[in-house]
Amino acid sequence: MAIHYEKDADNIVTLTMDLPGRSANVINAEFGQAFLDALNKVTQETELAGIILASAKDTFLAGGDLEMLVALDTPETAFTNSEGFKAQLRRLETQGKPVVAAINGAALGGGLELALACHHRIAIDNDKIKVGLPEVTLGLLPGGGGVTRMVRLLGLQAAFSYLMEGKQVSPKEALSAGIIHALAADRDDLIAKAKAWIKERKSAKQPWDESGYKMPGGDPRRPEVFQMLAIAPAMLRKRTYGNYPAPEAIMSAAVEGAQTDFDTASRIESRYFAQLATGQVAKNMISAFWFQLNSIKAGTSRPAGDQAGTKKVGVLGAGMMGHGIAYVSALSGMDVVMKDVTAESAQAGKDKIAKLLDKRLSRGKMTKEKRDEVLNRIVATADAADLKGCDLIIEAVFEDRALKAKVTVEAEAHLAENGVFASNTSTLPITGLAEPSANPENFVGLHFFSPVDKMPLVEIIKGAKTGEYALRKAFDYVLKIKKTPIVVNDSRGFYTSRVFGFYVNEGAALLAEGMHPRAIESAGLQAGMPVGPLALLDEVNLGLAMHIRDQTRKDFEAEGKTLPNHPGFAVVERMVTEFKRQGKAQGAGFYDYPVDGKKRLWPELQQHFPAAAEQLPQKEMIERMLFAQCLETVRCRDEGVFTSTADANIGSIFGWGFAPFSGGTLQYINAYGLKRFVTRAAVLASKYGERFQPPASLIAMAEKGETF
Amino acid sequence: MPQDAFVFDAIRTPRGRGKKNGALHEVAPIVLLQNLFHHLHQRNKQFDTAQVDDVVLGCVTPVGDQGADIAKTAALYAGWDWDVPGVQINRFCASGLEAVNMAAMKVRSGWEHLVVAGGVESMSRVPMGSDGGAMLSDPKVSRALDMAPQGIGADLVAVLEGFSRTDVDQYAVTSQHRAAAAQSAGRFTSRIPVRDRNGMVVLDHDQHVRADTTLESLGALQPSFAMMGEMGFDAVALQKYPQVEHIEHIHTAGNSSGIVDGAALVLVGTEAKGKELGLKARARIRAAALVGTEPTIMLTGPAPASKKALALAGMSVNDIDLFEVNEAFASVVLRFLREMGINDMDKVNVNGGAIALGHPLGATGAMLLGTALDELERRDLNTALITLCVGGGMGIATIIERV
């Protein structure tokens, strides 16, 4: 029984959701049937005081079952399903007797939608409990009445942030926002309060079913609302570049629904839902941010074996990366020894950590005691002997082979027995870095992204000799610091740095061809990348980009190969050698960086890279930037750089911000259609160069009708 | 051969500031029209109103006071024969001129012989936007159309054309000084004072004109569209115009058209109907043209519409003696001049324009036609071209020639 039915002496029926075989309640076919049965039964009760909806799980109701959702193949099915479930919710809220949602745990998505169909909502006052409608983050809209009811409950403007940004709040915040009505101390208090509320009344109606109901804030005909609605789509567009259909659909469903009666609004919502649920972007986002992310966290790329927890972390270097790594480690409960060359520089790193903690404190995300506790877990030192007992040491010194070799030997001596040594590098092959190590089996690469506290990905690099234990240790450590690990095999640039380079170099190539620099930057942003390619090159530093290219060329030559020329290389070289503009850190790159004001494209750029008579359409530039990255991802796959599609997709989005709505580099190809992609790549190759030539493996997959 | 359409008369009300403290705020838009209907009838030998085949009036915000077909309402309320039909039309800022052009088309079709055209807008009574509309307030539509407010388009025009704040302010100073000079010299001869129900004058001059405007006084004004641009509309425009790095917001309340109340009427008919009623034809409508243009920038229609009208009339830009280019925003006029290759500012908006006089949306086009016709007669010149930029990305132009 997915829903237990229990009637007490006061004629109050408690429906307790308890989906068998699942750790959380979700809305699936079984749940839907149980809900319908319970509703049929309760409406036949001759003596009924009211209804309580409760949960036997830790969560109240976690939402719709995404397995079921992705199986929706036609808009008709999606529409009918949505309408069917909503008809039951509508029945529940209009049957006359008071209904209370007893929210004991997370009420997200369909869970909150069910609660919204109750007349009264009480939640346990625990900040860990989250209430919200996260559908938009998966490219969907709350199609269980969430749009229709939130708009009627809160008004258009107030509802927008919950609906369009997927904002999740604690019960306290939900109470002050007006989403729930009361707080309870614990489960017993929750049920007691629910029963008390029912006993106070004989019947109940939703506010929107009362005669004389007025929408909070006013409906769209009111001038203030009208003005807000005139600018709201532009505000959205500024953020999304029109790449995300879900927030647009939500806004439209909300606005259109606000001008009609409840049932019509609900049907409008279902129609938008059906379009989104069967659309490509939702498929991309659900696949990446739900199924693939979950599979990564479940350890698909982790060698099987016991947990390899980390107790004490050593961090070599207290600079930008070093103190970031120390911070996230201490925050996750590990003891940390942060070593730098001098005690002063080590302490400077610790001071920066204190600042990060103070920020959390001032935002109310942390108590003073907790802040002190975390800070006290970090020892800042210049003495390598303090590393004694560390079971994981991560070096985060400059990208210099000799320096890395030196600190490796020095620190390894202090590792605990069977400890693991990790090198944080973005480009240097791990196998080479492991050479000075006394125990290369326990040597692994951990590529962090900057700023460490904000970036969600860590790329774990497996050297030629890296053993399974070191991999497990690295994997479990990354999960422990609440980041997402992907596992890649050793090669120059690994996966993320290597493919990312193809994005920025494509931007540079377009500049060489005489495309307007502003249009190039726009194309990058319109493609869904977080920053334009030229601005990114400035941030990475053009000198560094040139250095990496030179190093790569040498490595290729050492293997008897030639590094294929990329037309972007020459642009970077001219910027560095001819114009002496290295990037943002120097205040001059493709952009000027005025001390007081926003960066602006260097006015002379167009003199040195004159505009071509014919400018490419934005769409062509967008495709070049995306195709370049996707094709290089396929080459990485061919070379065994990564072994799972999930790692490739999630790595691209979390690592360098590849267009999230596309679901990642390989999913972009799936969505484009492999046959079409191959044909288009061949056309791009004939126009712009070899780098667009589709690899043989991709052509073969396309011919066989396969996908990633 | 279609029969030619002639203009017998063109009159207008003064323009009152379009605010609560504006002189015409107390006058209902239907009364503005009633006054003009009365005068049109009186000035033209009290023609038999039953001879009028239709009344076509522009009104951009046809709700509230201006709702429910104000053209038919006005004809009846003015006491004209109930045989006179009426239709209210909306082509945004071009509505007043569109009404004239439609009247001309009706006449040229041979199916109608005498038509009253014109328009009305009480912007103080019925504010812009009061009629809603999918283009502005339906998110899915504004998204699909890449809609941005006109002010964003005006600033974008300036960026693309390289006009500076000084350029547009200088143009606005000229407009103010020309309008002030025209007003004090009594050149607005077809302007009919607005009177109350006792016959007392409520307003007899154009209230928005500021004769003391200087480059300095305009320079002190804040840009009107910077905030909404920053909130998101700049992003919409820049995504459409990816080569533009930044939109500098230079249009202010001082170099954009004024918000005012007012109405205008134009009497259009065939030569034969004129003779029958004893009316003197003052001008022939040589050509009328419409175009659609890129909707995000929205305001670039005047030049292509004018070129289309010139081609229809078999004329060149040099054949035009006077231009009336609606001063929706200063940059619109400056761009028009550049696109048309017009260097002689003494031919353009010689008595000022909407920056000084104001732009009562539904009426302006008909007002401009009347202003042009009066000035042709005063200077004894022959041809004038009237053009406006239009919301949604349209342009309109009409060429008249004295007879």
Which value does ipTM take for this structure?
Answer: 0.87
Residue of A nearest to B245 (CA): A518
What is the average per-residue pLDDT within A654-682? 98
Pick A251's closest partner by Cβ from B139, B148, B234: B139
B298 contacts: CB under 8 Å, gap ≥ 6: B148, B150, B153, B389, B391, B392, B393
Among residues B227, B222, B157, B91, the alpha carbon closest in space to that of A234 is found at: B227
Pick A220's closest partner by Cβ from B137, B233, B234: B137
| Beta-bridge partner residues of B9 | B267
Instruction: Supply the pLDDT for residue A119.
Output: 98
Q: B329: alpha, beta or left, given left = phi > 0 and alpha = psi -120 to 50?
A: beta
Both tokens of residue B158? 């300036």
Of the listed A447, A516, A547, A608, which one is catalytic? A447
To the nearest whole Å, the CA of B351 is away from the closest chain A CA by 35
Sheet holding A168-169, edge to edge: A107-108, A131-132, A168-169
Give how far Cα A50 sits from Cα of A41, A119, A194, Å. 13, 10, 10
Interchain contact A260–B (C-beta under 8 A): no
| Sequential DSSP letters for A404-454 | HHHHHHHHHTTPPTT-EEEE--SSS-HHHHTTT-S-GGGEEEEEE-SSTTT
- The pLDDT tens digits for A85-97 are 999 999 999 999 9
Both tokens of residue A189? 């208090």
Residue of A nearest to B238 (CA): A522
- The pLDDT tens digits for A393-403 are 999 998 888 99
In sign, the C-alpha dihedral spanning A565, A571, A575, A579 is positive
Residue of A nearest to B227 (CA): A231
Element (H or E) spanning A392, and its range? strand A392-395
pLDDT of residue A14 exceeding 90, the answer is yes
Give how far Cα A608 sits from Cα of A60, A535, B216, Å. 62, 17, 39
- Indicate the domain borders of chain A: 3-278, 312-492, 496-617
Among residues B295, B269, B292, B293, the alpha carbon closest in space to that of B282 is found at: B269
Residue A289 CA, distance from chain mean position: 7
Burial of A413 per CB tally in 10 Å (0-12, 13-18, 19+): exposed
Burial of A705 per CB tally in 10 Å (0-12, 13-18, 19+): exposed
Whole-number Å distance between alpha carbons of A117 and A99: 9
Is residue B224 within 8 A of residue B253, CB to CB? The reply is yes
Contact state of A518 with B244 under an 8 Å Cβ cutoff: yes
Residue-level pLDDT, tens digit, chain B, 403 residues: 679 999 999 999 999 999 999 999 999 999 999 999 999 999 999 999 999 999 999 999 999 999 999 999 999 999 999 999 999 999 999 999 999 999 999 999 999 999 999 999 999 999 998 998 999 889 999 989 999 999 999 999 999 999 999 999 999 999 999 999 999 999 999 999 999 999 999 999 999 999 999 999 999 999 999 999 999 999 999 999 999 999 999 999 999 999 999 999 999 999 999 999 999 999 999 999 999 999 999 999 999 999 999 999 999 999 999 999 999 999 999 999 999 999 999 999 999 999 999 999 999 999 999 999 999 999 999 999 999 999 999 999 999 999 9
Instruction: Supply the pLDDT for residue A94.
Output: 97
Contact state of A522 with B138 under an 8 Å Cβ cutoff: no
Is residue B375 within 8 A of residue B322, CB to CB? The reply is yes
To the nearest whole Å, the CA of B235 is away from the closest chain A CA by 5
Residues in chain A within 8 Å Cβ distance of B246: 600
Residue B272 CA, distance from chain mean position: 29
- The pLDDT tens digits for A618-634 are 999 999 999 999 999 99
Pick A232's closest partner by Cβ from B139, B148, B243: B139
Q: Where are the alpha helices (DSSP H) in A614-707?
A: 618-638, 645-656, 665-672, 674-688, 696-704
Is residue A220 within 8 A of residue A259, CB to CB? The reply is yes
What is the average per-residue pLDDT within A257-285? 96
Mutate to test the interface with A, among B126, B135, B143 (most CBs of A within 10 A): B143
The radius of gyration of chain B's CA atoms, rounded to the nearest angstrom, is 20
Pick A526's closest partner by Cβ from B136, B234, B239: B239
Contact state of A220 with B228 under an 8 Å Cβ cutoff: no
Mutate to test the interface with B, among A226, A269, A616 (most CBs of B within 10 A): A226
Contact state of A526 with B242 under an 8 Å Cβ cutoff: yes
Q: Between vectors from CA A456 to CA A278 and to CA A418, what angle results, nearest 5°? A: 125
pLDDT of residue A374 exceeding 90, the answer is yes
What is the average per-residue pLDDT within A172-201? 98
Instruction: Supply the pLDDT for residue A427.
Output: 81
- To the question of domain A312-492 being in CATH 3.40.50.920, the answer is no
Domain at A3-278, CATH class:
alpha beta
Q: What are phi and psi of A456, to 5 degrees?
A: -85, -10
Both tokens of residue A407? 């600190």
Residues in chain A within 8 Å Cβ distance of B242: 516, 518-519, 522-523, 526, 618
What is the average per-residue pLDDT within A269-283? 97
Question: Is A447 among the catalytic positions?
Answer: yes
Prior bond of A436 cis (ω within 30°): no
Instruction: Supply the pLDDT for residue B284.
Output: 98
Interchain contact A227–B (C-beta under 8 A): yes
- The pLDDT tens digits for A110-169 are 999 999 999 999 999 999 999 999 999 999 999 999 999 999 999 999 999 999 999 999
Give how far Cα A673 sits from Cα of A284, A606, A691, B52, Å. 13, 37, 20, 64
A506 contacts: CB under 8 Å, gap ≥ 6: A533, A568, A624, A625, A628
Is residue B265 within 8 A of residue B366, CB to CB? The reply is yes
Contact state of A235 with B231 under an 8 Å Cβ cutoff: yes
> How many CB contacts within 8 angstroms connect chain A with chain B?
88
A561 contacts: CB under 8 Å, gap ≥ 6: none
Chain B residues bordering chain A (beta-carbon distance below 8 Å): 127, 129-130, 132, 136-140, 142-143, 147-149, 228, 231-236, 238-239, 242-246
Residue ranges of A 580-609 with Cβ closer than 8 A to chain B: 600-601
A413 contacts: CB under 8 Å, gap ≥ 6: A384
A38 contacts: CB under 8 Å, gap ≥ 6: A3, A5, A15
Q: What is the CATH number of domain A496-617?
A: 1.10.1040.50
Amino acid, res. A323: H
Element (H or E) spanning B102, and its range? helix B95-109
To the nearest whole Å, the CA of B109 is away from the closest chain A CA by 41
Q: What is the 3-state secondary structure (H, E, C) of A106-126?
A: CEECHHHHHHHCCCEEEEECC
Instruction: Supply the pLDDT for residue A400.
Output: 85
Interchain contact A558–B (C-beta under 8 A): no
Is residue A354 within 8 A of residue A375, CB to CB? The reply is yes
Contact state of B129 with A230 under an 8 Å Cβ cutoff: yes
Instruction: Supply the pLDDT for residue B1.
Output: 64
Residue of A nearest to B246 (CA): A600
Residues in chain A within 8 Å Cβ distance of B234: 238
Residue A1 CA, distance from chain mean position: 35
Whole-number Å distance between alpha carbons of A588 and A607: 16
Mutate to test the interface with A, among B131, B137, B160 (most CBs of A within 10 A): B137
Whole-number Å distance between alpha carbons of A28 and A53: 17
Residue of A nearest to B148 (CA): A234
Amino acid, res. A21: G
- The pLDDT tens digits for A306-329 are 999 999 999 999 999 999 999 999
Instruction: Supply the pLDDT for residue A596.
Output: 85
The radius of gyration of chain A's CA atoms, rounded to the nearest angstrom, is 28
To the nearest whole Å, the CA of A74 is away from the closest chain B CA by 22
To the nearest whole Å, the CA of A294 is away from the closest chain B CA by 33
Contact state of A234 with B148 under an 8 Å Cβ cutoff: yes
Interchain contact A248–B (C-beta under 8 A): yes
- DSSP annotation of B329: B
B318 contacts: CB under 8 Å, gap ≥ 6: none
Both tokens of residue A233? 């789509």
pTM of the predicted structure, to 2 decimals: 0.92
Instruction: Supply the pLDDT for residue A586.
Output: 92
Whole-number Å distance between alpha carbons of A459 and A651: 8
Is residue A336 within 8 A of residue A359, CB to CB? The reply is no
Whole-number Å distance between alpha carbons of A648 and A662: 13
Interchain contact A297–B (C-beta under 8 A): no
Looking up tokens 């690990």 gives: A485
Contact state of B139 with A220 under an 8 Å Cβ cutoff: no
Whole-number Å distance between alpha carbons of B323 and B386: 6
What is the average per-residue pLDDT within A509-518? 97
Contact state of B129 with A227 under an 8 Å Cβ cutoff: yes
